[in-house]
């Protein structure tokens, strides 16, 4: 193995400028060998009398993108990053970072520790540590406020969102912005060497960190404290339950209240505490789970190359179809939207235009981008117009005869190599595929509503789908910025099948005497983005009702979703009728508890012979809903509907508002221990006497072997 860091003592056309060349694919992460290599290279360069300045440069697609996240779960090895950065900063010869790509976390901190920074246009700078349950641990919370001010530091560090160098032009972070983009790396190196030469000619000295004092007068300090408090309050709501953003604010506050050395020590303490926390473990798991979903498990040796998809069609211009069309257009793919009538088509295209206008008004998209996207979307009522498209996504009415009729029609008009995908949420895609003469080219592409916003895409392989089709659908998802997860066919696939168990328990608890707000509050307090019943009201209780009615595998049990079904039959469909589990103000749509709903539910419980109790605790609610998910997830793994436990987590994190700092249901099960999970499920089985709480054999088996779900 070649060393990931090399000192090149003489740069092209500059004998007194050295290059520290970092080559640690894929993203030049600061693994142990890189940290040690940088220290050695700096030492060597300092000792070499012929070297007057040092450029830090990276091979590959990006400058250093951060610490090596894979090392976080292991025993830390010296030298630690702060030591490396201190060495760079205290180097007697000017150090200059040549930036391109995504300069993130420890990579950005390393750049800030350099005496100068040169970047090409389009370079992204960021401190995304909070997204991993961490805070910057090598000076980010101290150097960024000192160089660019407290407000920018608070914004960048607590959001974790990278920003382009062009947007940061006025903050004094970059000393020289080269007018070329990152694809021209040769130019970056040449220009950085030129910059270093000019520094030497002008006799510029190194800028040592300790020479970066944070001098704020008392008025500025007061304003900075106030700003910190505003961020604390905002994040207490936005990042509910997460420790890292609050620790980051505390550390940034130290930048103007403590001397630098003390504040750096405190920063490291916060970082180390976060790194060892269950929250960070879970968020790191989430990071790798999302990367892992793209890795398909192929049976053969050869991995198919995805087919290039340049034109698609979407069947159905309703909310879902329109959202899907937007996903394709956003990714630069031309879309033909098919509807049954011109009036429906016009309605659908107008609704898309409105959604784009809203995105523009909110500053999410530029006018130019909106125009480009709208130009990619065309409409038709004629199937013949779909003859040349590469792929079709059907988003029509959710019944088998309708879907089969559409697929049969598509099969006749589309070119033989075209992929035919269904957006069905529940139906058996094996059966849909049989309506065509190309079942191997039929696949599920299950988007989540609103399709243009939600990150999740379940890519459903039928028993006929070939590897080429699956790979292409997965790659297309990635192109649209989705987290694509490959799953197999079963009722509700992975996400909705598990959600049915979660909803079943929420409904059962209502019949047993819990109120809707008690159930929802318990789940929000636990960490879910919204309570299940408020979600159900929002999406329409009748949607699930219809799906259950059509489900031939539905349990023959009147208590199964008994509360929801009764409310639908009483005309309470949720927000759209201003009444469901809650009531909604007709003007403001504001939700409030509704005694009428509670009375109806209680009367229904009596009718079903369910004895209600008033001792239902929040803990019972949380465990029943979450453990129902875990148990079903284990069945799904056992049946190989999902390939990995981490795929299930990625689905729940990106499609159902599962709290990221708990890592997903399967990660959570490992964290609390399978012993607790199995024992509690058995207790619920005894308590309920119903058949829903059969412990999944996989859980029992793993427990007996002393293993975890992730093993
Ligand atoms: N450590 C280890 N592996 C990393 C990594 C990191 N920091 N960042 C990315 N990788 C790996 C990915 O797991 C993936 O591996 P795989 O090919 O085996 O699946 C590979 O690099 C390529 O990553 P992507 O598929 O994500 O490539 P993209 O080009 O789409 O994105 C990226 C590149 C923007 C750098 C993205 O990977 C990313 O955001 N990485 C995380 C960056 C980060 O969070 N840095 C901060 C780390 S914490 C820190 O620095 C603490 C410090 O303050 C002390």
Q: What is the mean pLDDT of residues 71-77?
A: 92
Helix, strand, or coil (residue 429): helix
Strands (DSSP E) contained in 527-622 are 583-584, 591-592
Whether omega for the bond prior to residue 450 falls within 30 degrees of 0, making it cis, is: yes
Q: What is the mean pLDDT of residues 10-38?
A: 95
Residues 6+ apart with CB under 8 A from 263: 141, 142, 251, 254, 255, 257
C-alpha span between 147 and 287 (Å, rounded): 30
CA-nearest residue, atom 10 of ligand 1? 27
- Going from the Cα of 65 to the center of ligand 1, the distance in angstroms, rounded, reads 6
The phi, psi pair for 9, rounded to 5°, reads -65, -30
Residue 62 CA: nearest ligand 1 atom is 35
C-alpha span between 668 and 221 (Å, rounded): 41
CB of 140 shorter than 6 A to ligand 1:
yes
| Res 29: pLDDT | 98
Q: Are 133 and 284 a contacting pair, CB within 8 Å? A: yes
Residue 124 CA: nearest ligand 1 atom is 34
CB of 69 shorter than 6 A to ligand 1:
yes
Q: Are 227 and 151 a contacting pair, CB within 8 Å? A: yes
In this prediction, residue 418 has a pLDDT band, given cuts at 50, 70 and 90, of very high
CB of 139 shorter than 6 A to ligand 1:
no
pLDDT(299) > 80: no
C-alpha span between 697 and 260 (Å, rounded): 56
Around 516, how many Cα atoms within 13 Å sit in the side-chain half-sphere? 27
CB of 65 shorter than 6 A to ligand 1:
yes
Q: Are 584 and 590 a contacting pair, CB within 8 Å? A: yes
CB of 27 shorter than 6 A to ligand 1:
yes
Q: Are 69 and 104 a contacting pair, CB within 8 Å? A: no
| Structure confidence by residue, pLDDT tens digits, 376-407 | 999 999 999 999 999 999 999 888 999 999 99
CB of 413 shorter than 6 A to ligand 1:
no
- Going from the Cα of 380 to the center of ligand 1, the distance in angstroms, rounded, reads 42
| Res 41: pLDDT | 98
pLDDT(219) > 70: yes
Residue 68 CA: nearest ligand 1 atom is 1
Q: What percentage of the chain reaches a pLDDT higher than 90?
A: 90
| Res 209: pLDDT | 65
C-alpha span between 266 and 105 (Å, rounded): 18
The DSSP call for residue 540 is: -
Cα Rg, the chain, nearest whole Å: 28
| Structure confidence by residue, pLDDT tens digits, 589-643 | 999 999 999 999 999 999 999 999 999 999 999 999 999 999 999 999 999 999 9
| Res 578: pLDDT | 97
| Res 212: pLDDT | 63
In this prediction, residue 691 has a pLDDT band, given cuts at 50, 70 and 90, of confident
C-alpha span between 659 and 335 (Å, rounded): 34
CB of 129 shorter than 6 A to ligand 1:
yes
C-alpha span between 555 and 218 (Å, rounded): 68
Q: Are 542 and 573 a contacting pair, CB within 8 Å? A: yes
Query: Assign residue 505 a region: left if phi > 0, alpha if psi is -120 to 50, beta otherwise?
Result: alpha
| Structure confidence by residue, pLDDT tens digits, 439-482 | 999 999 999 989 999 999 999 999 999 999 999 999 999 999 99
CA 134, chain centre distance (Å): 16
C-alpha span between 422 and 459 (Å, rounded): 10
CB of 291 shorter than 6 A to ligand 1:
yes
pLDDT(125) > 70: yes
Domains of the chain, start order: 5-274 (3.90.226.10), 311-492 (3.40.50.720), 496-640+673-705 (1.10.1040.50)
The phi, psi pair for 533, rounded to 5°, reads -80, -35
- Going from the Cα of 454 to the center of ligand 1, the distance in angstroms, rounded, reads 22
> Cβ atoms within 10 A of the Cβ of 462, count?
22
| Res 300: pLDDT | 61
CB of 67 shorter than 6 A to ligand 1:
yes
Q: Are 65 and 103 a contacting pair, CB within 8 Å? A: yes
First-residue to last-residue Cα distance in the chain: 29
| Structure confidence by residue, pLDDT tens digits, 343-354 | 999 999 999 999
| Res 25: pLDDT | 97
| Res 210: pLDDT | 61
C-alpha span between 451 and 77 (Å, rounded): 44
pLDDT(172) > 80: yes
C-alpha span between 654 and 605 (Å, rounded): 35
In 3D space, the residue among 402, 450, 444, 404 whose CA is nearest the CA of residue 425 turns out to be 444
Give the length of the chain: 711
| Structure confidence by residue, pLDDT tens digits, 173-194 | 999 999 987 778 889 999 999 9
| Res 506: pLDDT | 98
* Beta pairing, strands 5-8 & 102-104: unpaired
pLDDT(684) > 70: yes
| Res 213: pLDDT | 59
pLDDT averaged over every residue in the chain: 95
Helix, strand, or coil (residue 583): strand
Q: What CA dihedral angle connects 100, 104, 107 and 112, to 10 degrees? A: 90
Q: Are 326 and 451 a contacting pair, CB within 8 Å? A: yes
| Res 297: pLDDT | 72
C-alpha span between 465 and 461 (Å, rounded): 6
pLDDT(214) > 80: no
CA-nearest residue, atom 54 of ligand 1? 137
CB of 162 shorter than 6 A to ligand 1:
no
Mutate to test the pocket of ligand 1, among 69, 182, 272, 294 (most ligand atoms within 8 A of CB): 69
């Amino acid at each position: 193995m070649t060393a990931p860091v090399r000192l090149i003592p003489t740069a092209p056309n500059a004998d007194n400028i050295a290059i520290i060349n970092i080559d640690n694919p894929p993203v030049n992460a600061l693994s142990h060998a890189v940290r040690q290599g940088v220290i050695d290279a700096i030492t060597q360069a300092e000792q070499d009398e012929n070297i007057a300045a040092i450029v830090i440069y990276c091979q590959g697609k990006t400058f250093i993108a951060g610490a090596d996240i894979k090392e976080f779960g292991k025993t830390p090895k010296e030298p630690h990053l702060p030591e490396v950065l201190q060495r760079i900063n205290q180097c007697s010869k000017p150090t200059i970072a040549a930036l391109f790509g995504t300069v993130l976390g420890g990579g950005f901190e390393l750049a800030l520790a350099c005496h100068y920074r040169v970047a090409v246009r389009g370079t992204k700078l960021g401190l995304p540590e909070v997204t991993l349950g961490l805070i910057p641990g090598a000076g980010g919370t101290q150097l960024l406020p000192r160089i660019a001010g407290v407000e920018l530091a608070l914004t960048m560090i607590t959001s974790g969102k990278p920003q382009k160098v062009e947007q940061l032009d006025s903050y004094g972070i970059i000393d020289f912005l080269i007018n070329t983009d990152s694809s021209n790396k040769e130019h970056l190196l040449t220009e950085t060497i030129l910059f270093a030469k000019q520094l030497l000619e002008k006799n510029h000295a190194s800028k040592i960190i300790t020479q970066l004092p944070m001098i704020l007068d008392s008025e500025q300090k007061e304003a900075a404290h106030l700003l910190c408090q505003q961020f604390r309050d905002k994040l207490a709501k936005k990042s509910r339950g997460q420790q890292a953003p609050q620790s980051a604010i505390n550390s940034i506050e130290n930048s103007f209240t403590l001397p630098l050395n003390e504040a750096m020590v405190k920063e490291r303490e916060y970082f180390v505490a976060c790194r060892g926390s269950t929250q960070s473990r879970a968020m790191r798991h989430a990071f790798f789970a999302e990367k892992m979903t793209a890795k398909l498990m192929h049976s053969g040796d050869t991995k198919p190359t995805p087919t290039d998809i340049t034109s698609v069609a979407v069947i159905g211009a309703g909310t879902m179809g329109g959202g899907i069309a937007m996903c394709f257009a956003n990714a630069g793919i031309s879309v033909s939207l098919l509807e049954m009538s011109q009036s429906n088509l016009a309605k659908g295209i107008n609704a898309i235009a409105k959604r784009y206008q809203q995105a523009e008004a909110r500053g999410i998209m530029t006018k130019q981008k909106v125009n480009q996207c709208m130009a990619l979307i065309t409409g038709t009522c004629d199937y013949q117009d779909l003859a040349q498209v590469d792929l079709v996504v059907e988003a029509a009415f959710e019944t088998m005869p309708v879907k089969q009729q559409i697929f049969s029609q598509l099969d006749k008009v589309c070119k033989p190599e075209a992929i035919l995908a269904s957006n069905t949420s529940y139906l058996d895609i094996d059966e849909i595929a049989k309506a065509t003469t190309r079942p191997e080219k039929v696949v599920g592409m299950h988007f989540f509503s609103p399709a243009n916003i939600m990150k999740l895409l379940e890519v459903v392989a039928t028993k006929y789908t070939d590897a080429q089709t699956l790979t292409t659908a997965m790659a297309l998802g990635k192109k649209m910025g989705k987290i694509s997860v490959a799953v197999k066919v079963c009722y509700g696939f992975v996400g909705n099948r598990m959600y049915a168990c979660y909803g079943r328990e929420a409904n059962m608890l209502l019949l047993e005497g819990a109120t809707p707000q008690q159930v929802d509050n318990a789940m929000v307090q636990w960490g879910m983005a919204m309570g299940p019943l408020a979600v159900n009201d929002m999406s329409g209780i009748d949607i699930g009702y219809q799906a259950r009615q059509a489900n031939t595998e539905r349990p023959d049990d009147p208590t199964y979703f008994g509360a929801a079904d009764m409310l639908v039959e009483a005309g309470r469909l949720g927000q759209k009728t201003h009444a469901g589990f809650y009531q909604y103000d007709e003007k403001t749509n504001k939700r409030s508890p509704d005694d009428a709903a509670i009375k109806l539910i209680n009367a229904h419980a009596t009718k079903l012979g369910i004895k209600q109790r008033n001792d239902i605790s929040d803990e019972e609610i949380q465990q029943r809903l979450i453990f129902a998910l875990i148990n079903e997830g284990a069945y799904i793994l056992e049946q190989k509907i999902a390939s990995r436990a981490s795929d299930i987590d990625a689905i729940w994190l990106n499609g159902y508002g599962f709290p990221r700092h708990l890592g997903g249901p399967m990660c959570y099960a490992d964290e609390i221990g399978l012993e607790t999970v199995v024992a509690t499920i058995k207790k619920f089985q005894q308590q309920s006497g119903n058949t829903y709480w059969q412990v999944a054999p996989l859980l029992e088996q793993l427990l007996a072997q002393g293993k975890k779900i992730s093993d």
